[in-house]
Chains A and B, each alone.
Chain A
Amino acid sequence: MKEDINNSRFLQATDCLCAELRDALRSLPPDQQNLVTEIRMRSEMPIVLTCAQGAMFVYGSRLSPVYSQSALKVSSLQLDETFKRICGYSVHSHRTSINSGYVTVEGGHRAGVCGTAMREGDDVCSVRDINCINIRISRQIKGSANGIYSALFAHSLPGVIVAGAPSSGKTTVLRDLARQLSGEQRGRFIRTVICDERGEIAAVHNGVPANDVGINCDVLTSYPKGEGILIALRSFSPQVIICDETGSEEETRAIESGLNSGVSFIVSVHASSRKELCSRMQVRRLIETGAFSDVVLLDASDRSEKYFKTKELYDEIRGGNADSGGSGNAWQICGAASEG
């Protein structure tokens, strides 16, 4: 496995910070820059960098897990300037995503933003007083899906749910699967469509994917996933559709409609353990469609993968339902993929 260009992603992600913070973080040694997965900024608080070792504070050009008053702090003016830079000085163009709590910046890095929500009924119509920004550095690790490809995709195209805890690398795996399925590495050139609602998988900028997602891959950026799936089915005749963080009712309905078209779906969901997988309604809904035959659970701690057949999980959940007094036919797998 190799990361595309060591710390270039870090430099790209810090490009959206205000000048003082950008210069401070870029003065860190490259080997330390490469460890950073998140940059957390809170108004009038120290900047916190998330690394594999945990939270780190910045002191000049070095990192330390120990906090003291001299750690680099973020002023409210710096946070405000950073927010505007993240939006490309075009806050109006990012209203919807800001209301959803994030802005995707060039390179597919996701900047989570939070402040005070202004509401109209149940909907957030605007966010003011931004007081926290968390930039998650997106990395393309070519080969991160090698194991999954060999285990599941070498001779077929099954429907797969990729599960994992936050920051376990689900998006990285989806990106690499797209690259391997549709790219020249395997030579299969499978027609792949990515429904990239948050712009994180392909990171399309000015119409060109910033990440390598393969030659024969079409990307629908910013479409709601449900709508994107339907558009892909209507117009692109894909063999595989890839979506990140899927499982709403609308998305599930769209996946069901794709079943009859012979399309395979590869989606990701949040779940850090088998138990969590079995208890999440989102996973139940997906398995019930019958579009998925396998589940891969990513373990962030040792970068390993666990494989389950959806039928196993289905039985386990049914067993769980029975134990808890749930009705036996509360849910059932509809399609044929689970039989595969």
Chain B
Amino acid sequence: MLGRYAALHQKDEVRTLEALVKMFSDIKSMLGFTCPPVGDILIKLCSDTGFSSLVFLSECKNRCEQGEAFPDAWENALKEKYRESSLSRENAQKLSGFGRGLGATDLEGQLASCTLYETMFSSELERVGKAAEKNSGLYMPLGFFAGLAAAIFIV
């Protein structure tokens, strides 16, 4: 069970990172095409089922609808939902920086920021993906032996 849980968690993290990389790409496309305000970007992202694993997005949208300023809403949503979104604390902090900059500069600045974060999270995806692949065979025996050791200890 323990091994399976660890393997699943790593798979979820890979899926979340894939969704994040796609999110940056989508935001860049939206900005380049119609230059929408952040509220509209959030609505579009939340309505896309491809981003359903990014639970913090809908939390951020709800907070904005309740009158919270976007940068605060983004940060607080991440703080509250980063675990549910299968994000590590470090990646959540990086994402928090993206939210602080989103909508704060002109279009060129926004596109550059999206590209920067897209590259950053692509590298992270590659790293975590490789680790997941490498460790996938190890988690199950590791879990088995951990369980066996626990059973021996109890007996």
Residues of A within 8 A of B (CB): 84-85, 87-93, 95, 126
**Stretch among B30-38, B88-96, B121-129, B132-140 lining the A interface:** B30-38
| Interface bin, chain B | 10 to 19
A84–B69 alpha-carbon span in the complex (Å): 10
**CB under 8 Å from chain A, chain B span 62-85:** 69-71
Report whether A92 and B103 are in contact in the complex, using a CB–CB cutoff of 8 Å.
yes
Q: Is B50 an interface residue (CB 8 A)?
A: no
Chain A residue nearest to B31 in the complex (CB): A92
Report whether B71 and A92 are in contact in the complex, using a CB–CB cutoff of 8 Å.
no
**Stretch among B11-19, B51-59, B106-114, B144-152 lining the A interface:** B106-114
Contact of A87 among B36, B103, B107 (CB under 8 A): B103
Report whether A93 and B104 are in contact in the complex, using a CB–CB cutoff of 8 Å.
no
Q: Is B141 an interface residue (CB 8 A)?
A: no
Report whether B106 and A126 are in contact in the complex, using a CB–CB cutoff of 8 Å.
yes
Contact partners of A126 in chain B: CB under 8 A: 106
Q: 3 smallest A-B Cβ distances: which pairs? A: A90-B37, A89-B70, A89-B103
Report whether A85 and B109 are in contact in the complex, using a CB–CB cutoff of 8 Å.
no
Q: Is B105 an interface residue (CB 8 A)?
A: yes
**Total contacts A to B, CB within 8 angstroms?**
43
Report whether B38 and A84 are in contact in the complex, using a CB–CB cutoff of 8 Å.
no
Contact partners of B31 in chain A: CB under 8 A: 92
- Expressed in whole angstroms, the minimum distance between the Cβ of B97 and any Cβ of chain A is 15
A36–B110 alpha-carbon span in the complex (Å): 36
Chain A residue nearest to B107 in the complex (CB): A92
Report whether B107 and A89 are in contact in the complex, using a CB–CB cutoff of 8 Å.
no
- Expressed in whole angstroms, the minimum distance between the Cβ of A124 and any Cβ of chain B is 12
Chain B residue nearest to A98 in the complex (CB): B106
Report whether A92 and B39 are in contact in the complex, using a CB–CB cutoff of 8 Å.
no
Contact partners of B38 in chain A: CB under 8 A: 88-90
Contact partners of B102 in chain A: CB under 8 A: 89
A88–B36 alpha-carbon span in the complex (Å): 11
Contact partners of A84 in chain B: CB under 8 A: 103-104
Residues of B within 8 A of A (CB): 31, 35-39, 69-71, 102-107, 109-110
Contact partners of A88 in chain B: CB under 8 A: 37-39, 70, 103
Report whether B69 and A92 are in contact in the complex, using a CB–CB cutoff of 8 Å.
no
Contact partners of A89 in chain B: CB under 8 A: 37-38, 69-71, 102-104
A91–B102 alpha-carbon span in the complex (Å): 9
Chain A residue nearest to B70 in the complex (CB): A89
Report whether A91 and B103 are in contact in the complex, using a CB–CB cutoff of 8 Å.
yes
- Expressed in whole angstroms, the minimum distance between the Cβ of B111 and any Cβ of chain A is 9
Report whether A91 and B104 are in contact in the complex, using a CB–CB cutoff of 8 Å.
yes
A183–B104 alpha-carbon span in the complex (Å): 41
User: What are 17 pairs between A and B in contact, CB < 8 Å?
Assistant: A85-B69, A87-B37, A88-B37, A89-B69, A89-B71, A89-B102, A89-B103, A90-B39, A92-B35, A92-B103, A92-B106, A92-B107, A92-B109, A92-B110, A93-B103, A95-B35, A95-B106
A91–B108 alpha-carbon span in the complex (Å): 11
Contact partners of A87 in chain B: CB under 8 A: 37, 103
Listed residue (A84, A88, A93, A126) with the most chain B CB atoms within 10 angstroms of its CB: A93
Chain B residue nearest to A118 in the complex (CB): B106
Chain B residue nearest to A93 in the complex (CB): B37
- Expressed in whole angstroms, the minimum distance between the Cβ of A306 and any Cβ of chain B is 42
A93–B103 alpha-carbon span in the complex (Å): 8
Report whether A93 and B70 are in contact in the complex, using a CB–CB cutoff of 8 Å.
no
- Expressed in whole angstroms, the minimum distance between the Cβ of A98 and any Cβ of chain B is 8
Chain A residue nearest to B110 in the complex (CB): A92
- Expressed in whole angstroms, the minimum distance between the Cβ of A18 and any Cβ of chain B is 9
Contact partners of B39 in chain A: CB under 8 A: 88, 90
A235–B151 alpha-carbon span in the complex (Å): 80
Contact partners of B35 in chain A: CB under 8 A: 92-93, 95
Contact partners of B104 in chain A: CB under 8 A: 84, 89, 91
- Expressed in whole angstroms, the minimum distance between the Cβ of B73 and any Cβ of chain A is 9
> What 12 additional pairs, Cβ within 8 angstroms, besides A84-B104, A92-B105?
A87-B37, A87-B103, A88-B37, A89-B70, A89-B71, A89-B104, A90-B39, A91-B105, A92-B103, A92-B107, A92-B110, A95-B106
Contact partners of B69 in chain A: CB under 8 A: 85, 89
Contact partners of A92 in chain B: CB under 8 A: 31, 35, 103, 105-107, 109-110
Chain B residue nearest to A99 in the complex (CB): B106
A87–B102 alpha-carbon span in the complex (Å): 12
A12–B81 alpha-carbon span in the complex (Å): 32
